[in-house]
């Protein structure tokens, strides 16, 4: 019997997506593949609600998507503001510094987010070229209020780069309407495709800033100049070559994006919110405390939950013994003190109840005192209530 994967990526994938992944591989200049890649690029715009953006689909991880954004927008000496909410904000800062940026952090305590006023105080002082925001930090399950932040960046003439790796297609995001300049993500989370694709939708202001660079992009593989002709050619139905694309992953992406759009973006955002509410009801029934400091800053794509007194990281293994795979902590300061449960992409009520039941049984076996069945009942009540 196969375990149910409930970690914050990779996630469980739809059978049709896996079928596309396992199909015979087409040549990367095959007319059928060119047409399919072109549809995937168009669908990227629709999923990110970014009709005016240029999509990029490149073989690599979410970290490559982060690097592509930075490498193309930042030149040595440029100033960057990092809205820091955890492990992956730190990674973004590291990438910025490697490309020569002077980085200023606006930090919050683990589990919280910097206030919009605090961020704006820095923006008002001027001099920043780029502001980066992690939409959902996978290490802390903190959801950043990106709309207010990217609107503030635009008001002050600063480019906004939003890391949506653990958010895209799961958390509400309207790239064009909110004015986000770059939205980046990876395939293996709410986008619903096995690991291996770095995905970006780049708005007109960011493309203009890139074209106005005074120095070449330091990385050949990350350079939009190498990839833009390829993306434009595929979308126009023409063959082009820079580096061989991961054909089967792109085929799987086209299928998954089609399924996402068939569900509808607002309906999909609402479903993720419903599943998250059910998990929160369960954690409360178990007497557990989430790492995010309030529901307002808690992600809908995953939960980060502190172990109760007397329970340690062995709980993760106990839960796996119940047939559900969850993840341990990741934030360097806290990683031995909490666990994480992913609930994104195809996750529905059955998955929620199975995961909650497994965590509940594992906690009881570890000696945690709670009313047997209370967590499942609380999750079920939340799901019934909608």
Q: Which domain holds residue 81?
A: 15-263
The pLDDT of residue 2 is 86
Domain final position from 202, 237, 263? 263
The answer to whether the beta carbons of residues 342 and 357 sit under 8 Å apart is: no
- Same domain (yes/no): 217, 311: no
The pLDDT of residue 126 is 82
- Same domain (yes/no): 77, 203: yes
Residue from 145, 79, 147 nearest 114 by CA = 145
> Looking at the domain assignment, is residue 336 inside a domain?
yes
The pLDDT of residue 48 is 98
Per-residue pLDDT tens listing for the chain (386 residues) = 789 999 999 999 999 999 999 999 999 999 999 999 999 999 999 999 999 999 999 999 999 999 999 999 999 999 999 999 999 999 999 999 999 999 999 999 999 999 999 999 999 998 999 999 999 999 999 999 999 999 999 999 999 999 999 999 999 999 999 999 999 999 999 999 999 999 999 999 999 999 999 999 999 999 999 999 999 999 999 999 999 999 999 999 999 999 999 999 999 999 999 999 999 999 999 999 999 999 999 999 999 999 999 999 999 999 999 999 999 999 999 999 999 999 999 999 999 999 999 999 999 999 999 999 999 999 999 999 98
pTM for the predicted model, two decimal places = 0.97
The pLDDT of residue 88 is 96
CA distance 35 to 239: 10
- Same domain (yes/no): 24, 160: yes
- Same domain (yes/no): 302, 369: yes
Number of folded domains that form the chain: 2
Domain final position from 263, 298, 323? 263
The pLDDT of residue 105 is 97
> Looking at the domain assignment, is residue 78 inside a domain?
yes
The pLDDT of residue 221 is 98
pLDDT tens, residue by residue, 295-306: 999 999 999 999
């Amino acid at each position: 019997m196969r375990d149910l994967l409930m970690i914050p990526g990779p996630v469980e994938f739809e059978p049709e997506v896996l079928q596309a992944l396992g199909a015979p591989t087409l040549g990367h200049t095959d007319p059928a593949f060119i047409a399919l890649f072109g549809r995937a690029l168009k669908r990227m715009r629709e999923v990110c609600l970014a009709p005016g953006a240029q999509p990029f689909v490149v073989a690599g991880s979410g970290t490559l998507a982060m690097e592509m954004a930075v490498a193309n927008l930042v030149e040595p000496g440029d100033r960057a503001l990092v809205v820091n909410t955890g492990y992956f904000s730190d990674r973004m800062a590291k990438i910025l510094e490697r490309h020569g940026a002077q980085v200023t952090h606006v930090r919050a305590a683990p589990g919280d987010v910097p206030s919009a006023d605090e961020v704006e105080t820095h923006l008002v002082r001027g001099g920043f070229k780029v502001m980066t925001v992690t939409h959902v930090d996978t290490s802390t399950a903190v959801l950043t209020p990106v709309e207010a932040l990217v609107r503030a960046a635009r008001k002050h003439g600063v480019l906004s780069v939003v890391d949506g790796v653990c958010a895209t297609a799961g958390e509400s995001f309207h790239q064009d309407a909110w004015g986000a300049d770059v939205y980046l993500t990876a395939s293996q989370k709410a986008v619903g495709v096995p690991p291996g694709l770095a995905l970006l939708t780049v708005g007109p202001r960011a493309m203009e800033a890139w074209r106005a660079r005074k120095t070449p992009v330091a990385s050949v593989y990350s350079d939009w100049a190498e990839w833009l002709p390829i993306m434009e050619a595929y979308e126009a139905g023409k063959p082009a070559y820079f580096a061989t694309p991961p054909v089967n992953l792109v085929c799987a992406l086209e299928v998954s994006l089609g399924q996402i759009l068939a569900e509808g973006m607002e309906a999909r955002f609402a479903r993720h919110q419903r599943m998250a509410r059910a998990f929160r009801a369960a954690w409360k029934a178990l007497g557990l405390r989430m790492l995010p400091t309030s529901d307002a800053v808690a992600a809908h794509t995953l939960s980060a939950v502190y172990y109760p007194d007397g329970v340690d990281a062995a709980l993760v293994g106990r839960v796996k013994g119940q047939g559900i795979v969850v993840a341990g902590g990741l934030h360097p300061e806290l990683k031995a003190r909490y666990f994480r449960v992913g609930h994104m992409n195809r996750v529905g009520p059955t998955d929620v109840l199975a995961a909650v039941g497994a965590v509940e049984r594992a906690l009881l076996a570890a000696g945690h005192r709670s009313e047997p069945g209370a967590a499942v009942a609380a999750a079920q009540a939340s799901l019934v209530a909608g």
